[in-house]
Amino acid sequence: MIENSMFEEEPDVVDLAKETPSSSSSFPLDPDDVVYEPRSSRLLVRGLGENDADEEEEDYESSARLLGMSFMNRSSNQRAANQRTAYTRQDPSSFCSCLPSVRTMVAGVFVLVLVASLIMVFYFLPGCTFTREGCKKANTSQDSIYPIATDGQPFPWADLRLPSSVVPVHYDLLLQPNLTSMTFRGSVTITMTLQQDTDVLVLHSADMTISKATFQDQEVKPLEYKPWQQIAIKFPQLKKGQTCTLKVDYSAHLSTSYDGFYNSSYIDTTGTKRVLAATQFEPLAARKAFPCFDEPAFKATFSVKIKREAEYISLSNMPKIGTTQEDGLLLDEFEKSVTMSTYLVAFIVANLSSVSRNVSGTQVSVYAVPDKKDQVQYALDSAADLLQFYNKFFDIDYPLKKLDMVAIPDFLAGAMENWGLITFRETTLLVGNHSSPLDRQLVTSVIAHELAHQWFGNLVTMKWWNDLWLNEGFASYMQYMSIEKLFPQLDIDNEFLNIRFRALAKDSLNSSHPVSAVVKTPEQVEEMFDSVSYEKGASILLMVNSTLNDGEFQKGVIEYLNKYKGRNTVSEDLWNSLSSVSKLSISVAQMMNTWTLQKGFPLVTVNRIGPTVKLSQEHFLLDAGNVTSNNVWHIPLTYVNDSCSTARGCKQVFLLKDKSAKLDIPAGVKWLKFNYKNEGFYIVDYGVEGWKALIGALQQDVNVLPHEDRAALVNNIFMLSRLGKVPFRQVLNMLSYMSNETETAPLTEALSQLMHILRMLEKRQDLFLVNRMKAYIINHFGDLMDSQSWEEESSVATQTLRSMLLEISCGLHRANCTEKAMEAFQAWVASNGTHRIPSDLMRVVFSVAVQTEDGWNRVLQAYKLSLYDSEKRRMLEALASTQDVSNIVWILQAGLSGSDIQNQELPLVISTVCKGLAGYLYGWNFVKENWGKITQKFPIGSFAVQSIIVSATSQFSTKLQLLELENFFSSLKDKGSQMRTVQEAVETIKLNMLWMDKNLDTLRNWL
DSSP 633-670: --EEEEEEETTB-SSGGG-EEEEE-SSEEEEE--TT--
CB-side exposure of 982: number of CA atoms within 13 Å?
27
Mean per-residue pLDDT over the chain, rounded: 87
**What is the arithmetic mean of pLDDT over 323-332?**
95
667 pLDDT tier (thresholds 50, 70, 90): confident
Residue range 935-944, pLDDT digits in tens = 988 888 888 9
Q: Considering only CA atoms, which of 250, 246, 251, 249 is closest in space to residue 190?
A: 246
Answer yes or no: is pLDDT of 185 > 90: yes
DSSP 912-956: HHHHSTTTHHHHHHHHHHTHHHHHHHS-TTSHHHHHHHHHHHTT-
Answer yes or no: is pLDDT of 114 > 70: no
125 pLDDT tier (thresholds 50, 70, 90): very low
Chain-centroid distance, C-alpha 11: 15
| Percent of the chain whose predicted confidence (pLDDT) is above 90 | 74
**What is the arithmetic mean of pLDDT over 237-245?**
95
DSSP 359-401: ETTEEEEEEE-GGGGGG-HHHHHHHHHHHHHHHHHHTS---SS
Dihedral angle over CA of 961, 962, 965, 966, nearest 10:
-150
- Distance of alpha carbon 985 from alpha carbon 90, whole angstroms: 63
One-letter amino acid identity for 788? Q
DSSP 152-170: SSBPS---SSPPSSEEEEE
**What pLDDT score was predicted for residue 126?**
41
Q: Considering only CA atoms, which of 909, 869, 927 is closest in space to residue 414?
A: 869
Cβ-Cβ contacts under 8 Å for 210 (sequence gap 6 or more)? 222, 231, 248, 249, 250, 291
Q: Give strand pairing partners of 308.
A: 330
583: number of Cβ within 10 Å = 7
**What pLDDT score was predicted for residue 995?**
87
- The residue from 19, 56, 335, 450 that is catalytic is 450
Contact 634, 657 (CB under 8 A): yes
One-letter amino acid identity for 853? E
Residue range 396-433, pLDDT digits in tens = 999 999 999 999 998 988 899 999 999 999 999 999 88
- Distance of alpha carbon 139 from alpha carbon 647, whole angstroms: 76
Treating both helix axes as pointing N-terminal to C-terminal, what angle do 537-547 and 588-596 enclose, rounded to 10 degrees?
Answer: 160
501 pLDDT tier (thresholds 50, 70, 90): very high
Q: Considering only CA atoms, which of 757, 775, 677 is closest in space to residue 721?
A: 757
Contact 470, 533 (CB under 8 A): no
- Distance of alpha carbon 440 from alpha carbon 431, whole angstroms: 7
Sign of CA dihedral 388, 393, 398, 404: negative
DSSP 955-989: T--SHHHHHHHHHHHHHHGGGTTT-HHHHHHHHHH
Angle value at C-alpha 333, between 332 and 336, nearest 5 degrees:
155
**What pLDDT score was predicted for residue 90?**
36
111: number of Cβ within 10 Å = 10
More confident residue, 223 or 18: 223
Answer yes or no: is pLDDT of 62 > 70: no
63 pLDDT tier (thresholds 50, 70, 90): very low
Chain-centroid distance, C-alpha 887: 30
The 8-class DSSP code of residue 404 comes to: E
Phi, psi for 939 (deg, rounded to 5): -60, 145
107 pLDDT tier (thresholds 50, 70, 90): low
**What pLDDT score was predicted for residue 101?**
54
Angle value at C-alpha 117, between 111 and 122, nearest 5 degrees:
130
Answer yes or no: is pLDDT of 443 > 50: yes
Q: Is residue 3 among the annotated active site residues?
A: no
Answer yes or no: is pLDDT of 498 > 70: yes
How far, in Å, are 453, 634, 866 from residue 607 at the CA level? Answer: 43, 19, 58
Residue range 167-177, pLDDT digits in tens = 999 999 999 99
Residue range 823-867, pLDDT digits in tens = 999 999 999 888 899 999 999 999 999 999 999 999 999 999 999
**What pLDDT score was predicted for residue 109?**
53
979 pLDDT tier (thresholds 50, 70, 90): confident
235 pLDDT tier (thresholds 50, 70, 90): very high
**What pLDDT score was predicted for residue 9?**
47
- Distance of alpha carbon 502 from alpha carbon 534, whole angstroms: 11
Answer yes or no: is pLDDT of 559 > 90: yes
Answer yes or no: is pLDDT of 877 > 80: yes
**What pLDDT score was predicted for residue 659?**
96
One-letter amino acid identity for 978? Q
Residue range 337-385, pLDDT digits in tens = 999 999 999 999 999 999 999 999 999 999 999 999 999 999 999 999 9
- Distance of alpha carbon 70 from alpha carbon 93, whole angstroms: 45
- Distance of alpha carbon 943 from alpha carbon 36, whole angstroms: 19
104 pLDDT tier (thresholds 50, 70, 90): low
Sign of CA dihedral 670, 671, 672, 676: negative
Residue range 563-580, pLDDT digits in tens = 999 999 999 999 999 999
Sign of CA dihedral 197, 198, 201, 203: negative
Strands 301-308 and 166-178: parallel
Residue range 748-798, pLDDT digits in tens = 999 999 999 999 898 888 889 999 999 999 999 999 999 999 999 989 999
**What pLDDT score was predicted for residue 810?**
96
| Percent of the chain whose predicted confidence (pLDDT) is above 70 | 85
Lowest mean pLDDT among 32-36, 309-313, 742-746: 32-36
**What is the arithmetic mean of pLDDT over 652-659?**
95
Task: Specify burial of residue 667 (Cβ count, 10 A radius: 0-12, 13-18, 19+).
Answer: exposed
**What pLDDT score was predicted for residue 6?**
57
**What pLDDT score was predicted for residue 105?**
55
Answer yes or no: is pLDDT of 455 > 80: yes
**What pLDDT score was predicted for residue 304?**
98
**What pLDDT score was predicted for residue 952?**
92
624 pLDDT tier (thresholds 50, 70, 90): low
One-letter amino acid identity for 721? S
**What pLDDT score was predicted for residue 940?**
85
- Distance of alpha carbon 395 from alpha carbon 507, whole angstroms: 34
